[in-house]
Amino acid sequence: MTAAVSLAGLRIVVSAGPTFEDIDPVRFIGNRSSGKMGFAIAAAAARRGAQVVLVAGPVHLDTPASVQRIDVRSATQLRDAVIAALPADVYIGAAAVADYAPRAIAGNKIKKSADILTLELVRTPDTLAEVSASPSRPRCVVGFAAETENIEAHARGKLQKKNLDLIAANRVGVAGSGFESDDNALTVYSRDGVQALGPAPKTQLADELLTLIAERLHA
Ligand code: CTP
Ligand code: CA
């Protein structure tokens, strides 16, 4: 194995975990995400000497050594924390952000009455797209895509639409990979290439993804 490429002197912002969109004081809409992948990336980047800001949704994970952690709950809070952490050299959007949130959060617990309850949901801000389009765009913007089907087409579509440098795609909904697991397999797409990583522990995948990022930054 070759020595890990140093990331010393670089500022890297990572988002991780799910977001929870509150419905009332006791209920929320959330995503299945353990946060393990994003936390592993933050830990690996800090080990390589980067200055790391980790914007974390609600997860039960320890803060990696030498990482500045900012805890958030909702997609809007995640967006505000990420934007406030810019400028940066790299943004890695590993969070599983809720796409929709209730239009309003009920002040009191919603009581059951009718047989059918309709919730009105509104789109949340797309942090990854906003970071990539911002005047202080990081030199390298990396997204994730958890897909159940047509992985390459969906991932490449997001790469192009959000003007990303890299997108790490993985298949979800199959046993032994994705959400809660410690292992995963990623296919990383760029405009000019594709690279398969794993199956491997998320800690190893994090390091291999950082190598791809470092190579692009040093190219
Ligand atoms: N993302 C984000 N903000 C959102 C939604 C997604 O920053 N409101 C980021 C995720 O962190 C991830 C990437 O966008 O890096 C792709 O997320 P994904 O859910 O796969 O794609 P979407 O663009 O939301 O499209 P869809 O859910 O319809 O597949
Ligand atoms: Ca989504």
pLDDT digits (tens, 9 = 90+) for 84-93: 999 999 999 9
Q: CA 144, CA 130: separation in Å to the nearest integer?
A: 15
Q: Is the CB of 38 under 6 A from ligand 1?
A: no
Nearby residues for ligand 2 (ion, Cβ within 5 Å): 99
Is the Cα dihedral 152, 126, 79, 76 positive or negative?
negative
Q: Is 201 exposed, middle or buried (0-12, 13-18, 19+ CB in 10 A)?
A: middle
169-193: per-residue pLDDT in tens?
998 876 655 566 788 899 999 999 9
Percent of the chain with pLDDT over 90: 89
ipTM field? 0.99
Residue 30 pLDDT: 96
CB-based contacts of 102: which residues, under 8 Å, 6+ apart? 21, 22, 23, 29, 119, 120, 121, 122
Residue 182 pLDDT: 82
| Average pLDDT of every residue of the chain | 94
Catalytic residues, which ones? 31
Q: Which residues pair with 91 in a beta bridge?
A: 13, 141
Residue 89 pLDDT: 98
Residue 174 pLDDT: 66
Give me the domains of the chain, ranges plus CATH numbers: 11-111+118-218 (3.40.50.10300)
* Nearest in space to 99 (alpha carbons), one of 70, 128, 72: 128
Residue 2 pLDDT: 54
DSSP state of 93: E
Ligand nearest to the CA of 75: 1
Using 70 as the pLDDT threshold, list the residues of the chain that sit under it: 1-3, 174-180
pTM of the complete model: 0.96
Residue 172 pLDDT: 84
Q: Residue 137 has which token pair?
A: 């765009």
Q: Is the CB of 170 under 6 A from ligand 1?
A: no
CB 186 within 8 A of CB 205: yes
